[in-house]
Amino acid sequence: MTEPRLFLRLDLTSRVRLGPGKIRLLEAIEREGSISAAGRALKMSYRRAWLLIDELNSYFREPLVETQLGGTGGGKASVTALGRTVIRAYRAMEKDAEHMVRRRSAPLVRRLKAGR
Amino acid sequence: MTEPRLFLRLDLTSRVRLGPGKIRLLEAIEREGSISAAGRALKMSYRRAWLLIDELNSYFREPLVETQLGGTGGGKASVTALGRTVIRAYRAMEKDAEHMVRRRSAPLVRRLKAGR
């Protein structure tokens, strides 16, 4: 991981919060195809993953994740077009912010103690 | 406070972390002229304020805050030129990031549920 590193939490409103945890979970669902597999991949309990998705889905007019009741092997989940829009917008903000921060923090980094 | 709001934590290196708490403390010392008054203004214990300043001072080649032993009324503290540079750089990053985020998050905000 390159430095400096930036951690962004974005409050769209006081009750609508997007941060790295929720975005990583959306990405894992896209990759893994289910909430349980995404939770396992992130070492997050199924309950925790499910609650985060429920919260994300409650923010927007349409869901970010859709679930299908499972037969053998459990239910599937997929990220909707709006979910992908949210992931992309968040990652684009992060990238923009990283470029800006790298530029603006250069004078500070030069004045750090050696080994810091 | 306008929305969306952004919270930035900047790790200049893995051991050098700048976030809103430390920056607010530097600003309060600049305003109040002592660590104890700054702590009180931020409802932070003297010990906590002192530890944060000690940590900040350990990051850079020169201190961000200088203290003078106090006579009556306790010791004074002042923010150095480098301290002011750090405050300004952090606040400039935050402002840049807020503009960028406001622009990039507009399509998401439009798709929030009413009342969210």
Q: What pLDDT, in 10s, does the model give residues A59-90? A: 999 999 999 876 665 689 999 999 999 999 99
List CB contacts (< 8 A) between A55 and chain B: none
- What pLDDT score was predicted for residue B71? 60
Distance CA B64, CA B70 (A): 19
CB contact under 8 A, B116 and A11: no
- Terminal Cα-to-Cα distance of chain A (whole angstroms): 16
Residue of A nearest to B105 (CA): A89
Q: How far is CA A100 from CA A34, A51, B94, B103, in A?
A: 35, 34, 10, 15
Q: What pLDDT, in 10s, does the model give residues B81-97? A: 999 999 999 999 988 98
- What pLDDT score was predicted for residue A61? 96
Q: Residue B77, SS3?
A: strand
- What pLDDT score was predicted for residue B115? 83
Distance CA A61, CA B112 (A): 6
CB contact under 8 A, A7 and B3: no
Distance CA B80, CA A113 (A): 16
Residue of A nearest to B19 (CA): A7
Angle between helix A46-59 and A20-32 (nearest 10): 110
* ipTM surpassing 0.85: no
Residue owning tokens 């998401």? B108
CB contact under 8 A, B9 and A10: no
CB contact under 8 A, B97 and A8: yes
Q: What pLDDT, in 10s, does the model give residues A26-65? A: 999 999 999 999 999 999 999 999 999 999 999 999 999 9
Of B9, B96, B112, the CB nearest to A60: B112
* Amino acid found at B78: S
Considering A21-25, B8-12, B72-76, the range whose residues carry the highest mean pLDDT is A21-25
DSSP secondary-structure letter at B68? E
CB contact under 8 A, A108 and B86: yes
- What pLDDT score was predicted for residue A70? 67
pLDDT higher than 60, residue B9: yes
Residue of B nearest to A102 (CA): B12
